[in-house]
């Protein structure tokens, strides 16, 4: 006879009570947007300890403030799904698309004539330059990025698609930080 799974998280009630110590009535015991089963498949999360960063960024549009400019990303799609949170298989073929808007407030006096580059990417996975131009005070520049293709990392875990900026004359090779404050989307690579 099959054991009941009251919360529908893929773990039998008996196993939750006796083995994993998770709640048999809550699919996400620690309320961090990953079900108990999903967290047991990941190598760097626990279904008993909330990871406060998994759910964020949770909104579309998402804003990132940096270099005294404000970037806003809307219509964010990961693999043609409108979401800032995507569950991927290791090595899965991925696409990212969005509209962007970069605003330089009229009182912005930080490097008004500098050429600034804005990039999106995942640390050690991919990076794509969105634009390279000046953003004088009071400017407001928008665009729709062509879909970016990349492969999900092979290692299970939580990865953030972040914005990076540089002050160069053209787009250069950059590596992204894992700074959640610069994230526009989260990719959770599931384990097997």
Chain segment 20-52, per-residue pLDDT in tens: 888 887 777 776 767 777 777 765 678 888 765
Chain segment 8-17, per-residue pLDDT in tens: 778 888 888 8
Do 83 and 34 fall into the same domain? Answer: no
Do 89 and 20 fall into the same domain? Answer: no
8 A C-beta contact, residue 176 and residue 153: no
Q: Which residue has the tokens 């073929």?
A: 93
Name the residue range of residue 77's domain.
Answer: 62-189
8 A C-beta contact, residue 92 and residue 156: no
8 A C-beta contact, residue 41 and residue 15: no
Mean pLDDT within 163-175: 92
Do 2 and 35 fall into the same domain? Answer: yes
User: Do the domain assignments include residue 128?
Assistant: yes
Q: What is the pLDDT of residue 99?
A: 94
Calpha distance 99→61 (Å, rounded)? 9
Do 130 and 38 fall into the same domain? Answer: no
User: Do the domain assignments include residue 57?
Assistant: no
Do 108 and 85 fall into the same domain? Answer: yes
Average pLDDT over the chain reads 85
Q: Is this model's pTM higher than 0.75 or not?
A: no
pLDDT above 80 (res 96): yes
Which tokens hold the place of 1? 């006879």
Count of domains in the chain? 2
DSSP string, 73-95: EEEEEETTEE-SEEEE-TT-EEE
Q: What is the pLDDT of residue 135?
A: 86
Do 88 and 45 fall into the same domain? Answer: no
């Amino acid at each position: 006879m099959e054991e009941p799974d009251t919360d529908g998280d893929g773990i039998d009630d008996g196993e939750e009570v006796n083995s994993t110590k998770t709640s048999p009535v809550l699919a996400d015991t620690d309320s961090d947007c990953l079900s108990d089963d999903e967290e047991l498949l990941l190598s760097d999360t626990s279904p008993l300890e909330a990871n406060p960063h998994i759910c964020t960024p949770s909104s579309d549009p998402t804003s990132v403030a940096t270099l005294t400019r404000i970037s806003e990303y809307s219509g964010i799609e990961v693999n043609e799904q409108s979401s800032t949170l995507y569950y991927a298989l290791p090595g899965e073929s991925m696409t990212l698309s969005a509209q962007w808007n970069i605003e330089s407030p009229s009182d912005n006096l930080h490097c008004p004539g500098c050429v600034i580059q804005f990039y999106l990417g995942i640390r050690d996975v991919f990076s794509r330059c969105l634009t390279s131009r000046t953003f004088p005070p009071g400017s407001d520049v928008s665009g729709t990025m062509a879909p970016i293709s990349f492969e999900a990392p092979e290692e299970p875990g939580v990865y953030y698609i972040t914005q990076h900026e540089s002050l160069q004359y053209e787009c250069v090779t950059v590596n992204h930080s894992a700074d959640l404050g610069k994230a526009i989307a989260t990719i959770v690579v599931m384990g097997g």
